[in-house]
Amino acid sequence: MEINIIKNQFIELHNKESQAIFRFCVLRVSDRETALDLTQDIFMRYWDYILKNKEKKIDSGRALLFAIARNCIIDWYRKKKNISLESLVEDSENSFNKEGYFLQDNGGEKIEMEAEAELFIKKIEEVDIKYREAVYLRYVEELTPKEIAEVLKESVNVVSVHINRGLNQLRELLDI
């Protein structure tokens, strides 16, 4: 494939998916700056991969991107094992109060967010870990079960079962 075509496809994918990859990272590392660094690293790894594998056809660039993101986050945690839980949870820039409002440092101004969506994302974190990622990728990032299977390196059937079981747990947590 010609380098200009590859470059244009990369730019298009970056523009389309960079916010989703950033959200994926923020929810896993709980630090905005680290998530930004990881997002940049993820796209660099993706670029390296597509340059080295020009002849390979990539069925879903989005699925490959999330697979790289997942691996980058795992690598980051392996390197940072000794960081205390307090430093991971602590975020001096942004926080949520008990009513579900998002607070910013600009004078403590309250900005009401979509409370249901925020509650959903918080409750996803309470779902069993083996189902959590499948549910998150399906309903927050809107990946197809096939794309999720590529990311998680599982069969589509296993992913569908994990999504279903995760949703059942989520329904119980949300009392639906």
CA separation for the pair 22, 42 (Å, rounded): 10
CA separation for the pair 4, 75 (Å, rounded): 31
Dihedral angle at the C-alpha atoms of 67, 94, 117, 101, nearest 10 degrees? 170
- Residue 102 reports pLDDT greater than 50: no
| Residue closest to 153 by CA, chosen among 46, 34, 19, 63 | 63
Across the beta sheet with 102-104, the strand order is 94-96, 102-104, 110-111
Element (H, E) at 63: helix 61-79
CA separation for the pair 57, 40 (Å, rounded): 23
**Quick one: pLDDT at residue 45?**
92
Distance of CA 56 to the CA centre of its chain: 25
CATH topology of domain 1-86: Rna Polymerase Sigma Factor; Chain: A (1.10.1740)
Element (H, E) at 125: none
CATH topology of domain 114-176: Arc Repressor Mutant, subunit A (1.10.10)
Does the pTM exceed 0.85?
no
Average pLDDT, the chain: 76
Count Cα atoms within 13 angstroms, Cβ side, for 127.
25
pLDDT in tens, 50-75: 888 777 777 788 888 988 998 888 88
pLDDT in tens, 141-176: 788 899 899 888 899 999 999 999 988 888 888 776
Q: What are the residue boundaries of the structural domains of the chain, listed by start?
A: 1-86, 114-176
